[in-house]
Amino acid sequence: MKTSFLFAFIILFGSVCFAQEDMLRVKQITLKDGSELVGRIIDENYTEISFITNSGVEMKIKRELIQEIKDIEMEEHGGKLRRVDPNQTRLLFSPTGRPLKQGKGYFSVYEIFFPMVSFGLTDFLAMSGGMSLFPGADEQLIYLAPKVNLLNQENFALSGGVLYMTITDESAGIAYGVATFGKSSGAFTLGLGWGFVEGDFSSKPMIVLGGEVQLSGSTKLITENWLPPGDNGAIISFGIRFFGSNLAADFGLITSTEASDGFPFLPWLGFAYNF
Domains and CATH numbers, the chain: 2-22+99-274 (2.40.160.40), 23-83 (2.30.30.100)
Average pLDDT of the chain? 87
Q: Which residues, in sequence order, are CB contacts of 241 under 8 Å at separation 6+?
A: 85, 87, 219, 220, 221, 222, 248, 249, 250
DSSP string of 107-169, one letter each residue: EEEETTTEEEEEEESSSSEEEEEEE---TT-SS--EEEEEEEEEEEETTEEEEEEEEEEEETT
Q: What is the pTM of this model?
A: 0.79
Below-50 pLDDT ranges, the chain: 11, 15-16, 18-21
What is the C-alpha separation between 231 and 226, in angstroms, rounded?
A: 12
CB contact at 8 A, 120 and 126: yes
What is the C-alpha separation between 160 and 146, in angstroms, rounded?
A: 9
Note the pLDDT of residue 229: 85
Note the pLDDT of residue 19: 44
Using alpha carbons, select from 226, 211, 235, 250 the residue that is nearest to residue 112: 250
pLDDT tens, residue by residue, 122-169? 999 999 999 999 998 889 999 999 999 999 998 999 999 999 999 988
CA 266, distance to chain mean position in Å, is 21
CB contact at 8 A, 23 and 71: no
Note the pLDDT of residue 72: 78
Task: HSE, CB side, 13 Å, CA atoms: give it for residue 236.
Answer: 15
What is the C-alpha separation between 204 and 192, in angstroms, rounded?
A: 9
